[in-house]
Structure 1
């Protein structure tokens, strides 16, 4: 059974661990230098913000989502739990709070784009650079009910 709840301050390190495992499994397109730089930013950022966590029956975090002003900035699922509907449950929860939710996905992350389109998101644009100005194109998506 999966429950969704807000994170506690002591769960920041687990969120970083989930992020690292998920990125290692899905973001092979990142250069080693960019991966290290992004890791530093994530280690500083994730423990400081309130996240939505998907937790198992023992209250152990398996995935997280971060939404800022209706924009899903992050959704990461521990690779050991992929394909179990956890990401979909988090997105559905986010949509219940923000019906017109938007998100951005790296163009090279084809599986993620397919996941969001299956969830009802539509492409609204493309940027040739990511949010930090790196040369990783981003697809902009919005949920259309």
Structure 2
């Protein structure tokens, strides 16, 4: 009697299946990497608020609007855009829902109509007001700017 001998050859089908699995795995890894990059938290960006009074244009820049004590820079110009260097600016942060008011902080002049307060405490999330008092020796003007503080 004779025995039948069978031989198996490697098929291209098995090799293709492995390549497809590798390609799918790479595609999934790329999608996860891109999604992670898109949702990764970025450092808070400065916030710029523009307003004015009858005599002045005012720009307020906060380092961030998160809990803490951000630095605040106030730029004051006359209505024609010329910087006001001869003056004083005070900033007071008020949490409107709780009625909490911090002490007014005197901003230090830094030239070309800019005044800087190194740290203005914002101790809780929610709505706040920044109340500015601008004393240019000719007049004292009050300005209130709304602000939302996040966590």
Give the helix-richer structure, 1 or 2. Answer: 1
Same fold (TM over 0.5): no
Q: Give the TM-score, by structure 2 length.
A: 0.23
Q: Give the TM-score, by structure 1 length.
A: 0.24
Tell which structure's C-alpha radius of gyration is larger.
2
